[in-house]
Amino acid sequence: QKEVEQDPGPLSVPEGAIVSLNCTYSNSAFQYFMWYRQYSRKGPELLMYTYSSGNKEDGRFTAQVDKSSKYISLFIRDSQPSDSATYLCAMSVMRGSQGNLIFGKGTKLSVKP
Amino acid sequence: DAGVTQSPTHLIKTRGQQVTLRCSPISGHKSVSWYQQVLGQGPQFIFQYYEKEERGRGNFPDRFSARQFPNYSSELNVNALLLGDSALYLCASSLGPGSQYEQYFGPGTRLTVT
């Protein structure tokens, strides 16, 4: 079993839809949960991070972490064609001075005009 | 402010050759990490450096090595290239230990091994 599981999609939605992206994980020691957006042939762009459980909102984006279920989500409201990209979840233990990120495979999202 | 920069953008090498990839972090960031991203997969951690010292190493063979310079830039070296080393190599920077949850990635170097 991989430490982080993410459905690769592809996911196709109409413009204006609410998008839900999810990851599950197996390592209960993960403390930080990140979402990255990666456009084709570009580096990942940090969207937001969350510490431990709870919700965090930034504009049209909302991240949720449920540590009891080992499940994290990213919601995108009023999706736009410019949101079309691959979305990567990442997690970290942050033990001492180390803090390498463990990534999911990424979900490819397409928002149709 | 400039983000993380990487060079070269693309590289084509032959099996058995050696390659050096370069990374300059965001100004003020002292930690650099290297990741390998194979097509269709998420990035996989290779190394983390802080203040010129290796602070973490992923599950990669000894053919992979790295170093960090006094100006916090970094190089990743891969010896005896294999076809399976073809990937996008990403560099990420952060302020330092305790801020690894806020890593910013460069555009990557796309390495093709033939």
Name A51's bridge partners.
A32
Q: What percent of chain B has pLDDT over 70?
A: 99
Chain A nearest C-alpha distance from B68 (Å): 16
User: Residue B109 — pLDDT band, cuts 50, 70, 90?
Assistant: very high
What pairs with residue A54 in β-bridges? A65
B102 alpha carbon, distance to own chain's centre: 16
Task: Inform me whether the pLDDT recorded for A53 exceeds 90.
Answer: no
Q: What's the token pair of residue A90?
A: 């990442």
Mean pLDDT of A55-65: 96
Q: Once rounded to an integer, what is the mean pLDDT over residues A40-66?
A: 93
pLDDT at position B10 is 97
B78 vs B59: CA distance, rounded Å: 14
- Which residues of chain B neighbour A103 with C-beta distances below 8 Å? 42-44
Residues B105, A45: C-beta atoms closer than 8 Å: yes
Q: Which residues lie below 8 Å from residue B26, measured CB to CB, with a gap of 6+?
A: B1, B2, B3, B4, B93, B104
Say yes or no to pLDDT of B96 above 90.
no
Residue B87 clears pLDDT 60, i.e. is over it: yes
Helix (H, G, I), strand (E, B) or coil at A107: strand
A45 interfacial to chain B (CB closer than 8 Å): yes
Residues B105, A100: C-beta atoms closer than 8 Å: no
Percent of chain A whose predicted confidence (pLDDT) is above 70: 94
